[in-house]
Chains A and B, each alone.
Chain A
């Protein structure tokens, strides 16, 4: 076996280390912009926005119609800047971003789990 081939065959794959790199990528995928502000779709933000929505609407009962017409609020973005948000729009965006980031994490994590040797990459 040539030295070059031997080197390729020897290449190990460190699953845990690569997973850390993958998690860092998910951090990027969680970032989104809304109305000039920059947000990160964290569980904390998700819970905050959810808690500001009227309870009746959360259980699918239609909610307070008058309140629904005026559901603008001011929230702080990632940089602590005040941003006027439409709670429903923001709620949707947070969920979409979060789901996209975690779905792609699951997909790539599943692929990584199958890798046994660096040669497979």
Chain B
């Protein structure tokens, strides 16, 4: 009998985008599909926001430092520079109140229960080592390694860990990399700015695995992702007749290929949405109305 406490953690600090409201939608879906409690780590401004209906627990923790990132426009070359408060992700090990934790980005929406199964395993630490571009342009092929001849890149979008020495060491090393990011950027051959948790995780995991490209404990499926150029345009429900007769949710999105506009659906995949403008009030409300 596994008596360990289990839960999901999200980090959200508003800066340019309303990440806290997005976290609320993400929390609702995660709770629906895993049945587990959700903790939000945010600052005092986030904690004071109304309608955090799906958050079971709020941990007040200020976001340290500034990290600027360029966000690209949806269908054009426009860009906007915004503060990206992502510097304290590695603190999750100390902050998590759970023995088994699934850390997800707020822009990762669950539409199926696959992630719940990871809690039933004895795995100590897991994350994605491959991402799939749902706009079918293989845009993440360049992200397979930190540089052309570098170590394999891992994705920090979804991280599962048990409280154990290995997980603790990986997060401590991520913190160390953050402090000395310029050095690691030169040593591993990537851009110094902005700070990316994906890179810190990749280096830390590689080092803690004995400087070996340890392939053992990655999720056995890809991180399904919509790149910034593929906005979500609506939420759909579709009847599912197999298994328990029920309705399932999916997102309809658009992408361009050689100038032609295509529309496709996410097929109830768990999905990482990189286009933050997709999280409109209407979309969040439609999802909330359906799952309530």
A residues in contact (CB < 8 Å) with B: 7, 10-14, 17-18, 20-22, 24-25, 27-29, 31-33, 36-38, 40, 78-81, 100, 103-104, 107-108, 111, 118-119, 121
17 of the cross-chain contacts (CB-CB < 8 Å) are: A17-B136, A21-B132, A21-B136, A21-B269, A27-B220, A29-B114, A31-B117, A31-B220, A38-B117, A79-B123, A104-B242, A107-B241, A107-B242, A108-B238, A111-B238, A119-B263, A121-B265
Specify which chain A residues have a CB less than 8 angstroms from the CB of B112 in the assembled complex. Answer: 25, 28-29
Say yes or no: A28 contacts B221, CB within 8 Å.
Answer: yes
Contact B217 A79 (CB under 8 A): yes
- Is B252 interfacial (CB 8 A cutoff)? yes
In the complex, chain B residues 20-35 whose Cβ is within 8 Å of any chain A Cβ: none
Most B CB contacts (10 A, CB to CB) among A24, A100, A119 go to A24
CB-CB nearest in chain A for B268: A25
User: Helix, strand, loop or mixed for chain A's interface?
Assistant: helix
Q: Identify which of A27, A37, A104, A121 contacts B252 (C-beta below 8 A).
A: A121
Contact for A13 among B134, B217, B236, B262, CB less than 8 A = B262
Residues of A within 8 A of B236 (CB): 121
CB neighbors of A among B189-223 (8 A): 216-217, 220-222
| Interface size of B in residues (CB-CB distance below 8 Å) | 37
Q: Knowing A81-B122, A104-B240 are in contact, say whether A121-B117 is a contact too (CB < 8 A).
A: no
Residue pair B243, A100 in contact (C-beta under 8 Å):
yes
B159 within 8 Å of A (CB atoms): no
Known: A37-B121, A121-B264. A24 touches B224 (CB 8 A): yes
B252 / chain A contacts, CB cutoff of 8 Å: 121
A14 contacts across to B, CB distance below 8 A: 136, 257, 262, 264
Q: Complex: how many Å from CA A107 to CA B216? A: 33
Any chain A CB within 8 A of the CB of B42? no
Q: Do A21 and B267 touch (CB < 8 A)?
A: yes
> 18 new A-B pairs (CB below 8 Å) besides A21-B224, A24-B224?
A7-B261, A11-B254, A11-B262, A11-B263, A17-B262, A21-B136, A21-B267, A25-B267, A31-B114, A31-B117, A38-B123, A40-B220, A79-B123, A80-B216, A100-B242, A108-B267, A118-B263, A121-B263
B260 is an interface residue with CB less than 8 A from chain A: yes
Indicate whether B39 reaches chain A with its CB closer than 8 angstroms: no
* Docked-complex contact B121 and A24, CB < 8 angstroms: no
Point out the residues of chain A lying under 8 angstroms from B264, CB to CB: 13-14, 17-18, 21, 118, 121
**CA A104 to CA B238, docked complex, whole Å:** 12
